[in-house]
Chains A and B, each alone.
Chain A
Amino acid sequence: MSVVLAVDDTRALRAMLADCLKKGGHDVILAVDGVEALDQLRKHKPDIVITDLNMPRMNGLDFIEAARREPEGKSLPMLLLTTETAQSLKDRARAVRATGWLTKPFDPKQILSLVDQLA
């Protein structure tokens, strides 16, 4: 079972993600934006990260870019989960070394199988 860091500025989505992941038997750490997520990453060394894209203070892409420079984040699977679909953003995601791109709304089954697959 893995430690999952879930990052989203929307409380309801955080709650839903946490619920889904906990039901899958994972430990969940939450963060409301990239700044908090970086902090949690250093503190808890999660096995996988699922992050929103649009967030205040530090968005998901900037967070992943910053996290890749941290020892804890170097080879960490970090998935973006967003309603955005723009190709330019997906290109950017690849450039900052995001592990994958998922679209909201999320499918709990898919999230769980991805966590098993990647973490």
Chain B
Amino acid sequence: MDDDEDFEALFFSETRELLDALQEHLNLLADDEGDSETVHAAFRAVHSVKGGAAAFGFDRLIAFAHIFETVMDRIRSDTLMLDPHVAQILLRSGDMLQVLAENAEAGTEDKPVDGLQRLQQELEVLAGEREDGDIVEEGAPEPAPAEAAAPAEPEPSEEEDDTPALKEIVCRITPEEPFFESGHDILRLIRAAREHGLTTIHSEGDVPNIAEFDPRICTLTWELTFQTDQTLSDVEEFFGIYAHTAQLDFFQPGAEDDIDQDAEAQEESPAVQETPPAKSAQTAPSQQEKPPVGPAAAGAGGTNKPKAPAAPPNAARGADPNKSLRVEIARIDRLVNLVGEMLITQAALAQQITYGDEHQVSDMAHSVDAMSRQLRELQESVMAIRAQPVKSVFRRMPRVVRDLAEKLGKEAKLELEGENTEVDATVIEELSEPLTHMIRNSMDHGLEGNDDREAAGKPRVGRIKLAAEHKGERVIITIEDDGRGVNRERVLAKAIERGLVSPEDQLSPEEVDMLIFHPGFSTAEEVSAVSGRGVGMDVVKKKIMALGGRCSVVSTPGKGAVFTITLPLTLAVMDGMTIAVGDQKYILPLSQVVEALRITGESGKRLPDGSSLLERRGEYLRLLSLRSALDLPPRDSTDQMAIVVDTETSGHVALTVDELIGQRQIVLKSLEANFHKVDGISGATILGDGQVALILDVQALVRMQGASAPIEETFH
């Protein structure tokens, strides 16, 4: 059973890939950009899912995939026109297949699924198996899945004559022309038949003389007599594989009238073509009526286990411990090589240490150098294993745009660029939500209606471009639209109304644009089905920040807006700045550090409410003492360092620290997993000397220090 579960996990992981690909093909088809190969590819994807599902007995999945496949087949054979209506149904069917697969994986295959019955009926109409008017409204009892999977209904077997006594069974076999050319060999047949109790062989017919001899044609008929405890159907099953290319007749000399009776039982054999009872002349193809799918499933025993919760229910895909990753072999090879090299370096080092004298210090230094170089490479290689193209997220977006276009009544076209840009797999998973949200935002707020666009002299169809590229150690993702740009007046009015800024503040246009990322800000005046769900761009920003990224917007009124997300390549390693406060070392994420300053006595100012400000080039920043944030006594010395950090929600804030130690790459360790969550601390790492250093969550620290989050960090 363990094996079965492995296979199931494999099946589901492959199914996910297939369904992703299917989605892509269906999108192309719906956009009318597909060709016949796209239809084929979509058909094959559905077909493969069905094939796999059949192996594990997921009846609903099979039934739905079956009708879906039939429809795809009709499109493939040009029996069915692929018009927008059909395309819509196909898209929904792709989604449905995904839902059913997810249910099957979670072990909740029988969970009722909204709209399944209706969609299935719509497909049946397309498949020509149902009249258009015959769609039963939802709520009517759903047909049992087994009914739809009708071919899987096994014929009741009538296997009573299972007496241990030996019976005589005779089979006459006359090879037809393709027999020998199809890889059959009568000698092999006879050898194998011995195992089934073959006792005597008679041959009939004449061998033609050599001049007329055609090696493809067999003029002989063999009569094979078995003395066996097997049933007639067992023997027929043995011969089933030859039915394709030979005439077969069975007799049971001892029994009367029994052959008709057994003709039913022989349905059990999956390989057997329906053999006509008694001595009818030929296994005519037309007599093959019942597809032998079912009996095979019944006979498959282990592979067709009941759909008991074999796989543990994994509701959240992200938490799936069985999740696997496809990695190019070359990347693994590189790792193996590197580890080999490192072992050699290590051996050299060990030797140098054991027999070391003064002269060998330079050798050792050399080895250590080599080792650190190899380690760096090893680290990169390990990261590369987890790197995956952003394609998997990007290709869900055309769908989002299409659905929204329909809902909003706007036409829009999504362009994708740089889909093969690679990002750490953990980052990719987290990207889907913010990206979806940003696309929504562009669709809802950015793009004008088609008529407005025409009036403004723009192409009628709106354009959104989603692009990704690498820049140094980061990935840049941009979402560009050619809509109206950020409506600064409305944004500002809203921000003032919300008390985020005061009417007197002089904000630059860019600062106004950035307001849309402010927590609690959402320009949707009424709650629309699209973006006004109480979540605004601030949620996007929060999510991106949690990934160690940043986001920004550049808007040109009337021309459009470009949203930019920059992300680190991985979440497991980050650049940090090591600082000391009291007798502890801490890490600040380098991505948030703007600059470091030395504070002299005069540059700090104390406000009446107890908070402090730091003057920086004529501007004032909020000054926060890390000592007080960490509940340490204030330091005597006024000579302190201040690190200016970008908290995104509270603008730039200066943190006073005792000492600035330096920059380094750190490997993130989760505090929650190893200890428990601590406010103001986002994680931990281990320093070179073995000490644990906590990573400060600047955002949370500032919030905890009662920052009322002034948007603008500058006081003029």
Q: Which 7 A-B pairs have the closest CB atoms?
A: A85-B291, A12-B11, A77-B183, A117-B192, A100-B241, A99-B183, A97-B182
Q: Is the CB of B44 within 8 A of A9?
A: yes
Q: A11-B10, A12-B7, A117-B241 are contacts. A87–B48 as well, Cβ < 8 Å?
A: no
B368-381: CB near A (< 8 Å → 1, else 0) gives 00000000000000
Q: A13-B55, A114-B241 are contacts. A99–B184 as well, Cβ < 8 Å?
A: yes
Q: Is the CB of B299 within 8 A of A91?
A: no
In the complex, chain B residues whose CB is within 8 Å of the CB of A10: 14, 48, 51-52
B271-297: CB near A (< 8 Å → 1, else 0) gives 101000000000001101001110011
Contacting residues of chain B (217-276) with chain A, CB-CB under 8 angstroms: 237-238, 240-242, 244-245, 270-271, 273
Question: At the interface, yes or no: B583 with Cβ under 8 Å from chain A?
Answer: no
Q: Is the CB of A19 within 8 A of B302?
A: no
Contacting residues of chain B (101-155) with chain A, CB-CB under 8 angstroms: 151
Q: Which residue in chain A gives the minimum CB-CB distance to B243?
A: A100
Question: At the interface, yes or no: A116 with Cβ under 8 Å from chain B?
Answer: yes
In the complex, chain A residues whose CB is within 8 Å of the CB of B50: 83
Partner of A103 from B47, B292, B302 at Cβ < 8 Å: B292
Q: Is the CB of B47 within 8 A of A54?
A: yes
Question: At the interface, yes or no: A26 with Cβ under 8 Å from chain B?
Answer: no
What's the count of A-B pairs with C-beta under 8 Å? 142
What are 21 A-B interface contacts by the 8 Å CB criterion?
Answer: A9-B48, A11-B10, A12-B10, A13-B55, A16-B7, A16-B55, A52-B51, A83-B50, A91-B285, A94-B178, A95-B178, A98-B182, A98-B244, A99-B183, A100-B271, A101-B271, A106-B270, A110-B296, A117-B188, A117-B192, A117-B241
The docked-state distance in angstroms from the alpha carbon of A117 to that of B185 is 10
Q: Is the CB of B3 within 8 A of A19?
A: yes
Q: Is the CB of A105 within 8 A of B296?
A: yes
In the complex, chain A residues whose CB is within 8 Å of the CB of B270: 102-103, 106-107, 110
In the complex, chain B residues whose CB is within 8 Å of the CB of A98: 182, 244
Q: Is the CB of B288 within 8 A of A118?
A: no
Residues of A within 8 Å of B, CB-based: how many? 45
Question: At the interface, yes or no: B382 with Cβ under 8 Å from chain A?
Answer: no
The docked-state distance in angstroms from the alpha carbon of A78 to that of B192 is 17
Question: At the interface, yes or no: B208 with Cβ under 8 Å from chain A?
Answer: no
Question: At the interface, yes or no: B54 with Cβ under 8 Å from chain A?
Answer: yes
Partner of A110 from B192, B271, B291, B302 at Cβ < 8 Å: B271
Residues of B within 8 Å of A, CB-based: how many? 51
Contacting residues of chain A (75-93) with chain B, CB-CB under 8 angstroms: 75-79, 83, 85, 87, 90-91, 93
Question: At the interface, yes or no: A108 with Cβ under 8 Å from chain B?
Answer: yes
Question: At the interface, yes or no: A45 with Cβ under 8 Å from chain B?
Answer: no
Q: A85-B291, A87-B288, A105-B304 are contacts. A99–B7 as well, Cβ < 8 Å?
A: no
In the complex, chain A residues whose CB is within 8 Å of the CB of B242: 100
B72 to chain A, nearest CB (A): 11
The docked-state distance in angstroms from the alpha carbon of A30 to that of B185 is 25
In the complex, chain B residues whose CB is within 8 Å of the CB of A110: 237, 270-271, 296, 299
Q: Which of B50, B271, B296, B302 has the most CB of A within 10 A?
A: B271
Q: Is the CB of B7 within 8 A of A15?
A: yes
Partner of A99 from B10, B14, B182 at Cβ < 8 Å: B182
Q: Is the CB of A105 within 8 A of B285?
A: no
The docked-state distance in angstroms from the alpha carbon of A91 to that of B285 is 8
The docked-state distance in angstroms from the alpha carbon of A44 to that of B19 is 34
A13 to chain B, nearest CB (A): 7
A50 to chain B, nearest CB (A): 12
Q: Is the interface of B mostly helix, strand, loop or mixed?
A: helix
B31-55: CB near A (< 8 Å → 1, else 0) gives 0000000000101100110111011
Question: At the interface, yes or no: B597 with Cβ under 8 Å from chain A?
Answer: no
A17 to chain B, nearest CB (A): 10
B20 to chain A, nearest CB (A): 15
Interface contacts beyond A16-B7, A104-B296: sample of 17 additional A-B pairs, CB < 8 Å, sorted by A: A9-B48, A12-B52, A12-B55, A13-B55, A16-B303, A55-B44, A75-B181, A75-B185, A99-B182, A100-B242, A101-B273, A102-B270, A103-B270, A104-B54, A107-B296, A107-B303, A108-B302
The docked-state distance in angstroms from the alpha carbon of A83 to that of B291 is 10
In the complex, chain B residues whose CB is within 8 Å of the CB of A12: 7, 10-11, 14, 52, 55
In the complex, chain B residues whose CB is within 8 Å of the CB of A103: 270, 291-293, 296
In the complex, chain A residues whose CB is within 8 Å of the CB of B563: none
Q: Is the CB of A107 within 8 A of B192?
A: no
Q: Which residue in chain B gives the minimum CB-CB distance to A14?
A: B10
Q: Which residue in chain A gives the minimum CB-CB distance to B57?
A: A105
B297-334: CB near A (< 8 Å → 1, else 0) gives 10111111000000000000000000000000000000
Q: A16-B303, A76-B183 are contacts. A104–B51 as well, Cβ < 8 Å?
A: yes
Question: At the interface, yes or no: A71 with Cβ under 8 Å from chain B?
Answer: no
Q: Which residue in chain B gives the minimum CB-CB distance to A56?
A: B44
Q: Is the CB of A94 within 8 A of B10?
A: no
Q: Which residue in chain A gives the minimum CB-CB distance to B245?
A: A94
Q: A12-B14, A77-B183 are contacts. A97–B178 as well, Cβ < 8 Å?
A: yes
In the complex, chain B residues whose CB is within 8 Å of the CB of A116: 192
Q: Which of B50, B55, B185, B288 has the most CB of A within 10 A?
A: B55
B193 to chain A, nearest CB (A): 9
Q: Which residue in chain A gives the minimum CB-CB distance to B293?
A: A103
The docked-state distance in angstroms from the alpha carbon of A15 to that of B183 is 25
In the complex, chain B residues whose CB is within 8 Å of the CB of A9: 44, 48
Q: Which of A9, A68, A76, A97 has the most CB of B within 10 A?
A: A97
In the complex, chain A residues whose CB is within 8 Å of the CB of B180: 75
Q: Is the CB of B14 within 8 A of A11?
A: yes
Q: Is the CB of A87 within 8 A of B285?
A: yes
The docked-state distance in angstroms from the alpha carbon of A76 to that of B181 is 9
In the complex, chain A residues whose CB is within 8 Å of the CB of B181: 68, 75, 97
Q: Which of A10, A94, A110 has the most CB of B within 10 A?
A: A10
Partner of B183 from A56, A90, A97 at Cβ < 8 Å: A97
A17-58: CB near B (< 8 Å → 1, else 0) gives 001000000000000000000000000000000001011100
